[in-house]
């Protein structure tokens, strides 16, 4: 079992989760295929030790256990795992402090991706 960063991270990319990951298994895509790998973070499923430290750190509530990903976001499990095929095009990002989203912004982001 591993954790998954869903599309709720897309274009939000806070990276607070990176600081708490004890095995540095959270990556950002550095390649050119932005259609396949949009601007978000990804968890390498073979490196994740299932500690769950990342989940409460995500201000966008974008991280789920792979078995608990909500139905509208289920495709994100495979999408997250696809990073393994081109792992050399990913790197662990550095975390830069960002303003935290408001509850309204989080709710609007969820609504945009089919969650209520």
Q: Which residues of the chain have pLDDT under 70?
A: 1
pLDDT, tens digit, for every residue of 69-98?
A: 999 999 999 999 999 999 999 999 987 788
| CA of residue 41 relative to chain centroid, distance | 4
Q: What is the pLDDT of residue 90?
A: 96
Q: What is the pLDDT of residue 50?
A: 95
Q: What is the pLDDT of residue 64?
A: 97
Q: Of 52, 58, 61, which Cα lies nearest the Cα of 113? A: 61
Looking at the domain 3-112, which fold is it? Alpha-Beta Plaits (3.30.70)
CB 17 within 8 A of CB 98: no
Burial-class residue 31 by CB neighbours within 10 Å (0-12, 13-18, 19+). Answer: exposed
Q: What is the pLDDT of residue 61?
A: 97
Q: Domain residues of the chain, as ranges?
A: 3-112
**pTM of the full structure:** 0.91
Q: What is the pLDDT of residue 4?
A: 97
């Amino acid at each position: 079992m591993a954790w998954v960063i869903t599309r709720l991270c897309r274009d939000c990319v806070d990276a607070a989760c990176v600081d708490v990951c004890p095995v540095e298994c959270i990556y950002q895509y550095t390649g050119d295929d932005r259609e396949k790998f949009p601007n978000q973070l990804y968890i390498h499923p073979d490196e994740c030790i299932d500690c769950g430290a990342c989940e409460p750190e995500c201000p966008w509530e974008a991280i789920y256990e792979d078995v608990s990903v909500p139905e509208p976001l289920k495709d994100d499990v495979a999408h997250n795992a696809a990073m393994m095929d081109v792992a050399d095009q990913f790197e662990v990002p550095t975390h830069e402090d960002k303003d935290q989203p408001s509850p309204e912004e989080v709710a609007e982001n969820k609504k945009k991706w089919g969650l209520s």
